[in-house]
Structure 1
């Protein structure tokens, strides 16, 4: 496997050169990283090498390394992989048993026990109070993002203030930030666990479930309804609806470039319809207020 050249790499900061690492199989390759399964010092491990030189992904990689270090010093009430090695562009962690329930961003309808496991795991994240430090800070500047989206036409102007109010008027909670099915592990008889903590940190209440409901709801509307009902029971439905609008705006931005090269009119129409519904739902909530 070829290493990525660049001034950021050290002799030990590649999959090829880390002493004792025996590569078994490639798990994933994207435009930002290569992830492999292997063994090191007699233990099953997963190693991820950052291959992108983009500043954004460098920051996200460093954030994930920091998260694993925090978890190592502050026990959490869910299972996380043990950290074995960390460099500027190479991360080696314990390989937990299990496999992702699916690898698509918008997976087909998943078995209900898997959906329940994902919801339960995200609910546990939100109930945990991290100690002061990197995990107790907001992952992004939500007001700045809202203003940026509104300025570029990705949000209707009349919902800008309701969105700002929703993300600033309530205490933040801990969240995973990227609850893709591909970032989860299922193992028979064991609770579902999430891995990949590039975006973990503090979020408005319901943000994780809003994102999970968006992705699962493409082929399983009932899963989104479950997420909304759980958040409503905690009194955070308004924030959930606001985050749903923001997540759909992000999805629209992510897919704009893809629409130029991929003929996926059905998905584009679904995104348009769901975005409109999310905005309408937020407007109704504000109107009732």
Structure 2
């Protein structure tokens, strides 16, 4: 998924017959020829290779944690939903899925960056990411897990508030903005590492572990958090698009929630790594986001 494919993304030959039994490791999978290691994380290994003569990418789940097993299964469901109801953007064809292994078509492009908070990206890359995310809302997934809310937002708001991650007075504005939103399909994890960019092709998002129904512009709010660390203008662009869509209050609400999540996720890292600058940036951004939502809803 991180290098240019040698064949066009939609030039398909007849698909090979599916494997009848579930195979949990790539080295036991008939028809698989490994290439190079593309990425390794604490939960997966991603490898390029050949599958019955086709250029493919294989993902091997290495974590046994229940959360990541569930996310891996969800991604397989997403690719099957795309096959049943093709969306209006390029998606890789699913060639094989087991309990811990999936093999997909290799699409053109490489990830713009692998950092969660990437350095300043090229303007055309940011535009490509924004365009790709705004296109997701035009697709209606078939009945199933992708057509349901990605999470229980009211429960999350109450949980964050109870843990002291949100001030009490912001709960109601968040509930009003998020719980009443007409949900649209979203990627849910628009990291730069989950994108493929290449000359002559539109930027493509892959890795649909968190795909589902979200409040409008939730993806843009999350992208704005991650890109805004080193590119405040990118966050401003995301907010301006949400305002043009009439969803600025939902964008502001989702920004508050995403920043609260980032603070929670990074707390364990802060305990191990002295990253005071990033901690302070998150704290400042969260305080500013809460203030902006209060002003927008007349509660300042």
Which interval holds the TM-score relative to the shorter structure?
over 0.9
Structure 2 residue 52 is the aligned partner of structure 1 residue 41: yes
Distance 1:55 1:199 in 2: 15
1:163-198 per-residue CA deviation (whole Å, 9 max, x = no partner) reads 111111220011000000000000101100000000
- TM-score calculated relative to the size of structure 2: 0.91
Distance 1:168 1:145 in 2: 11
Question: Aligned to 1:287, what secondary structure does the other structure show?
Answer: coil
Aligned equivalent of 1:133: 144
How far apart are 1:134 and its partner, in Å?
2.1
Question: Aligned to 1:192, what secondary structure does the other structure show?
Answer: strand
| Contact 2:147-2:185 within 8 A present in 1 as well | yes
2:75 to 64, 81, 99: 64
2:62 to 45, 51, 59: 51
Q: RMSD of the alignment, in Å?
A: 1.2
Structure 2 residue 117 is the aligned partner of structure 1 residue 117: no
How many residue pairs get aligned? The number is 280
Question: Aligned to 1:191, what secondary structure does the other structure show?
Answer: strand
1:15 to 17, 23, 26: 26
Distance 2:155 2:89 in 1: 32
Distance 1:248 1:237 in 2: 16
Runs of 4+ aligned structure 1 residues displaced above 4 Å come to none
Distance 1:187 1:220 in 2: 21
| Contact 1:12-1:19 within 8 A present in 2 as well | no
| Contact 2:23-2:99 within 8 A present in 1 as well | no
How far apart are 1:206 and its partner, in Å?
1.1
How far apart are 1:231 and its partner, in Å?
0.7
| Contact 1:114-1:186 within 8 A present in 2 as well | yes
How far apart are 1:288 and its partner, in Å?
6.7
| Contact 1:185-1:195 within 8 A present in 2 as well | yes
Aligned equivalent of 1:203: 214
Aligned equivalent of 1:243: 254
How far apart are 1:97 and its partner, in Å?
1.2
Gapped runs of 5+ residues in structure 1?
Answer: 1-9
Structure 2 residue 120 is the aligned partner of structure 1 residue 105: no
Aligned equivalent of 1:4: none
1:73 to 57, 68, 84: 84
Structure 2 residue 276 is the aligned partner of structure 1 residue 265: yes
Distance 2:299 2:140 in 1: 32
Distance 1:80 1:287 in 2: 42
Gapped runs of 5+ residues in structure 2?
Answer: 1-20
| Contact 1:11-1:17 within 8 A present in 2 as well | no
Distance 1:139 1:53 in 2: 22
Aligned equivalent of 1:3: none
Question: Aligned to 2:272, what secondary structure does the other structure show?
Answer: coil
1:158 to 154, 169, 194: 169
How far apart are 1:210 and its partner, in Å?
0.1
Distance 1:116 1:267 in 2: 25
| Contact 1:248-1:271 within 8 A present in 2 as well | yes
